[in-house]
């Protein structure tokens, strides 16, 4: 398949990532169907997209014509078969569970024409763990966006040993044509590049905290003011959820057994205390005031 043959994209999973990936793709002129197993989630995504577009127009950041075009391009389709039947590319953004993704890819393989590329937005699962659930492993690939997908420019495209060069190149070009800056990883690794580097920063920050070298406030300040990260590691974990930070590491450690993957003590303690950050009112910082 050539990139010019890609006209229709189906996004499966209308949660935090899928809804934004779908709208972003529609804004660049592709016909997009968004689907979800939950009708309620799909309705919420439809409402959110309408409000987002209207808000951009009200602020003068988008023309009314562009809003109409995006709304026409993006369809919310509860039925998976209907949503995916004639898609050229499917981007999967459902829950981070291997068995759910494998089952879904097997269904998509049966629904979609042979040309269709099946991409996963998973943050940790490499596509070779999913590809053999289909009869088209050469068309299975990782396409990893960052949150919020409308804003964040990087896309990590990961070519598994089974992924064809053509598939990798179509997904690289689709990323570019939808306003993103992609990088191509020719070797699979869980977590890919950006999140692994972030993981290393968080690990070192936790080590310094545990050793009593600096407080979490001081470490955040050092990272923000000297390294110029927009947010220090503790502030970031409070925002994204310490439960998520802990569970991702615990799962990776259970799989690899590598000491570097073990959840750091400060994260484990916060997780077990139910202090998961902003969502619970307290994490490394206190938000209850
Ligand atoms: N949240 C992030 O920061 C982030 C960043 C990059 C990648 N990801 C990856 O994106 C994927 C989705 O994450 P999210 O944060 O959007 O999750 P989310 O929980 O917000 O949304 C997941 C959606 O998938 C739906 N779903 C579950 N099973 C389904 C099925 N069989 N068919 C159709 N829909 C189904 C759920 O109803 C839910 O609406 C995960 O693989 C995650 O690793 C997340």
Alpha-carbon distances, residue 230 vs 17, 224, 227 (angstroms): 21, 6, 9
Q: Given 185, 206, 236, which residue is the final one in a domain?
A: 185
287 belongs to a structural domain = no
246 belongs to a structural domain = yes
Q: What would the mean pLDDT of 44-68 be, rounded to a whole number?
A: 98
Q: Given 185, 208, 227, which residue is the final one in a domain?
A: 185
Q: What would the mean pLDDT of 5-26 be, rounded to a whole number?
A: 98
- Strand, coil or helix: what is 136? coil
Active-site residue set: 123, 144, 156, 195
103 belongs to a structural domain = yes
**Residue 30 above 90 pLDDT?**
yes
CATH number at residue 134: 3.40.50.720
CA distance 11 to 75: 10
Q: What would the mean pLDDT of 8-33 be, rounded to a whole number?
A: 98
* pTM of the entire predicted model: 0.93
pLDDT digits (tens, 9 = 90+) for 168-215: 999 999 999 999 999 999 999 989 999 999 999 999 999 999 999 999
pLDDT for residue 125: 92
**Counting atoms of ligand 1 from 1, which one is nearest the CA of 240?**
3
Tell me the CA–centroid distance for residue 151 and ligand 1, in Å.
18
285 belongs to a structural domain = no
CB-ligand 1 contact for 36 (6 Å cutoff): yes
Split into its structural domains, the chain has a count of 2
CA distance 199 to 245: 9
Is the same domain home to 98 and 60?
A: yes
Minimal CA–CA distance to 98: which of 129, 76, 72, 73?
129
Phi, psi of 8 (to 5 degrees): -125, 130
pLDDT digits (tens, 9 = 90+) for 232-289: 999 999 998 999 899 989 988 988 898 988 999 999 999 999 999 999 999 999 999 8
The pLDDT confidence band at residue 76, using thresholds 50, 70 and 90, is very high
Tell me the CA–centroid distance for residue 190 and ligand 1, in Å.
17
Contact at 8 Å (CB) between 106 and 137? no
CATH number at residue 242: 1.10.1040.10
**Counting atoms of ligand 1 from 1, which one is nearest the CA of 95?**
22
Q: Which domain holds residue 25?
A: 3-185
Sign of CA dihedral 269, 194, 192, 88: positive
Tell me the CA–centroid distance for residue 257 and ligand 1, in Å.
26
């Amino acid at each position: 398949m050539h990139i010019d043959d890609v006209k229709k994209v189906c996004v499966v999973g209308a949660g935090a990532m899928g809804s934004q990936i779908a709208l972003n793709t529609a804004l660049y002129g592709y016909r997009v169907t968004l689907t979800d197993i939950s009708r309620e989630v799909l309705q919420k995504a439809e409402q959110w997209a309408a409000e987002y577009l209207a808000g951009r127009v009200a602020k003068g950041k988008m023309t009314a014509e562009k809003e109409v075009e995006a709304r026409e391009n993006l369809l919310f389709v509860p039925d998976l078969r209907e949503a995916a039947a004639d898609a050229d590319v499917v981007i999967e953004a459902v829950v981070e569970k291997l068995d759910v993704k494998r089952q879904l890819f097997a269904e998509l393989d049966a629904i979609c024409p042979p040309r269709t590329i099946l991409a996963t937005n998973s943050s940790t699962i490499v596509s070779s763990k999913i590809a053999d659930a289909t009869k088209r492993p050469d068309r299975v690939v990782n396409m990893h966006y960052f949150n919020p997908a409308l804003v964040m420019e990087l896309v990590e495209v990961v070519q598994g040993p089974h992924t064809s060069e053509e598939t990798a190149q179509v997904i690289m070009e689709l990323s570019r044509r939808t306003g993103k800056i992609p990088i191509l990883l020719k070797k699979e690794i869980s977590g890919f590049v950006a999140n692994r580097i972030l993981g290393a920063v968080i690990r070192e920050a936790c080590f310094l905290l545990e050793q009593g070298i600096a407080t979490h406030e001081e470490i955040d300040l050092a990272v923000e003011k000297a390294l110029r990260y927009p947010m220090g590691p503790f502030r970031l974990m409070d925002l994204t959820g310490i439960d998520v930070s802990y569970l991702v590491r615990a799962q990776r450690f259970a799989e690899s057994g590598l000491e570097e993957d073990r959840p750091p003590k400060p994260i484990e303690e916060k997780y077990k205390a139910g202090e998961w950050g902003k969502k619970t009112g307290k994490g490394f910082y206190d938000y209850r005031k």
